[in-house]
Structure 1
Amino acid sequence: MKYFKTPSKCPVCGDQLLVRKLSCKKCNTKIEGDFLNCKFCQLPQEQLDFLEVFIQSRGSIKDVEKALSISYPTVRSKLDNLIESLGYKLDHYQEDKIVDEQRENILISVEKGEISVKDAAVKLNKLK
């Protein structure tokens, strides 16, 4: 039997769905009530895939960059979006720290010859 991911959003209004009935596939026991989906169950597949790579990489952004062939700022952006999707807010200190890390990585890329000074200037101007 094929199983599908439980929908978490109402297709009509977009609000969160409740799970009302659970059953055991082995003994057919049934439980009825109002149950909320877990935070992770509500994430879109793209964020679940990113989370899986992030965990496999033990949180190493450099390893995530390599695994997904994306830039450091893209990894940070995806991570920030994931954090916010789970209901957490980034405080200003964290955001400032992230921007500082992005600047540092851009400068390191110039130093290594991975990007030109002109490209670095454009990227630095796009940061907050």
Structure 2
Amino acid sequence: MKLPIVCPSCDHTLNVSQMKCPNCTTEVSGDYELPVILKLNRDEQEFILNFFLSSGSIKEMAKQADLSYPTMRNKMDDLIQKIDVLKN
């Protein structure tokens, strides 16, 4: 099951209110903001993972995705801009 990150009613980012340990069933309740990485959609999270797995090489990512370097660089710049907005 996918973790919902956006309110289905108003599109606002959801907060975490409860977590449960599957091993001992301990429960933690509160009102916690999601980490920035979890506020990104699946494609954006996958992009970051691929960047990491390619040792931070945009050139390698572009090659693997069969895209030009400038296209991949633009995707990276767009994601950086979105993360900057989410952090603040």
TM-score range, shorter chain: 0.7 to 0.9
Q: Which residue of 2 aligns with 1:9?
A: 6
> Segments of 4+ in structure 1 off by > 4 A?
none
Aligned residue for 2:84, secondary structure, equals coil
**Superposition deviation, residue 85 in structure 1:** 2.0
User: In the alignment, is the contact (CA less than 8 A) between 1:53 and 1:67 conserved in 2?
Assistant: no
Matches within 5 A, 1:116-127: none
Aligned to 1:86: 83
Equivalent positions of 1:2-81 (< 5 A) are 4-81=1-78
Letter in 1 for 2:42: Q
How many residues of Structure 1 are paired with residues of Structure 2 in the alignment?
85
**Deviations 1:66-114, CA, capped at 9 Å, x for gaps:** 11111111111110121122125xxxxxxxxxxxxxxxxxxxxxxxxxx
1:26 match: secondary structure:
coil
Cα distance in 1 between the residues matched to 2:16 and 2:28? 10
RMSD: 1.3
Higher relative contact order (CA 8 A, sep 6+): 2
Distance in 2, matches of 1:63 and 1:70, equals 10
Q: Which runs of 5+ in 2 are unaligned?
A: none
TM (normalized to structure 1)? 0.62
Larger Rg: 1
More strand by share: 2
CA distance in 2, matches of 1:5, 1:41: 11
Q: How much does 1:42 deviate?
A: 1.3
TM-score calculated relative to the size of structure 2: 0.87
Distance 2:47 2:41 in 1: 10
Query: Which secondary structure does the structure 2 equivalent of 1:5 belong to?
Result: coil
